[in-house]
Amino acid sequence: MQINFSKKNVLITGGSRGIGKACAKLYASLNANVIFTYKSNKHAAQITLEELDKKGRHKSYQLDITKPREIERVFEDIILDYGRVDILINNAGIFVEHKITDVDYIQWQKCWNETIMTNLTGVSNLCYLVSRHMIQNEGGKIINVSSRGAFRGEPNHPAYGASKAGLNALSQSLAQFLAPFNITVGVVAPGFVETDMASEILKSEAGNQIKKQSPLNRVATADEVARAIVLFSMKGLEYMTGGIIDINGASYLRT
């Protein structure tokens, strides 16, 4: 089995750092044209762009996924430049602590609004635009990055857990709706991953306990998650649509 994304245009949100960056590098090494977005860290985006294998044509775009008009404008620019998007990876996300005993009512609402707008509503808006584009193109693949927290609960980050549970439900609804249009939708659900998002908590006292949640006594690497994402986007695995792949080192087992 050969994995080759030559002439495929892959759009990755939040591709400047962490899991998105690992995806950008992996797809570039597999000959894809990589289009990735970032929110504000232009420097990180520039470094990522420079690190990509130069077999395809790559470009980064600044995009705040919480802004519906900005999504529309950036997606139009991408289509003008690249003509089409074959694979969409909805990876951008935030993980904001808001313990019910620590935040006031206003902060509580702010955390919920920001988290749901970024991790769920923003994804649904981009899925809307890209799905309609893929329907016209008679096919495509969408992969959404969820989390173990959707299943296990997130006591200190409840909006995050809810956003990812919602993302799973959104993905499965889209998988059913879009299948007749030759569009597949897959979900990957990592536990903790070695990225900026998790670095503070992994460096804290809780870090060792978190690693021990897995019998492998570690957290995932961003590369491991990227490989599962690539799997979902491969030709020949279309029947996996609607599925959710756990990447949590057996730290939380669902049946």
Residue ranges in 160-199 that form contacts with ligand NAP under rule CB under 6 A = 190, 192-193, 195-198
Tell me the residue number closest to ligand NAP, measured at CB: 18
Nearest to 10 by CA among 100, 22, 104, 120: 22
Residue ranges in 72-91 that form contacts with ligand NAP under rule CB under 6 A = 91
Task: Verify binding: residue 248, ligand NAP, rule CB under 6 A.
Answer: no
Task: Verify binding: residue 52, ligand NAP, rule CB under 6 A.
Answer: no
Angle, alpha carbons 52-55-61 (nearest 5°): 50
Closest contact distance (angstroms) between CB of 207 and ligand NAP is: 12
Closest contact distance (angstroms) between CB of 236 and ligand NAP is: 26
Largest CA distance in the chain: 54
Stretch that binds ligand NAP, among 24-32, 58-66, 150-158, 205-213 (CB under 6 A): 58-66
The answer to whether residue 160 is catalytic is yes
User: Which contiguous run of DSSP H or E holds residue 163?
Assistant: helix 158-178
Interhelix angle 42-51/18-29, rounded to 10 degrees, is: 20
Residue 78: helix, strand or coil by DSSP? helix
Token pair, residue 54, equals 């130069």
Chain residues binding ligand NAP by CB under 6 A are: 13-14, 16-20, 37-41, 44, 63-66, 91-95, 118, 145, 147, 190, 192-193, 195-198
